[in-house]
Amino acid sequence: MKKWQRGWLYFVILYAFIHLIRDTFQDLAINNFLSMTLTRSNPPLIAHIYWFIFNTYVAEIVVILFGIYSLRRNIFGRLGYMTIIIAFIMVSAWLYYWFFL
């Protein structure tokens, strides 16, 4: 496994874990610095559609599992590239939500 691949996996696992904690805090209405970072004050127009189309809990857990599996096997492979694709989809969905909804 190349150095950038290992670094990417560590980064994406850490980010997904922190984001999972943040989403849990938001859903439980626990207000702290982590749960209030990069949130909109007004509710989006179609938040329920966003929730059903792309559930972040599932994506975060999948990224964590794929990343840990890739690190354990020391092979980036398809699962490693899937973490990049999932991250790209998550960032694209967030940008769409932030700027257009």
Q: What is the pLDDT of residues 9-53, one digit of tens each?
A: 999 999 999 988 888 887 788 888 777 776 766 655 555 555 555
Total Cβ atoms within 10 A of residue 23: 15
Q: For 51-76, what is each residue's pLDDT tens digit?
A: 555 577 888 999 999 999 999 999 99
DSSP letter at 41 equals S
Domain regions of the chain by residue span: 3-35+54-100
Distance, CA of 14 to CA of 63 (rounded, Å): 10
- Beta-carbon-side half-sphere exposure of residue 22 (alpha carbons within 13 Å): 15
From residue 91, alpha-carbon distances to 3, 59, 71, 94 in Å are 23, 12, 23, 5
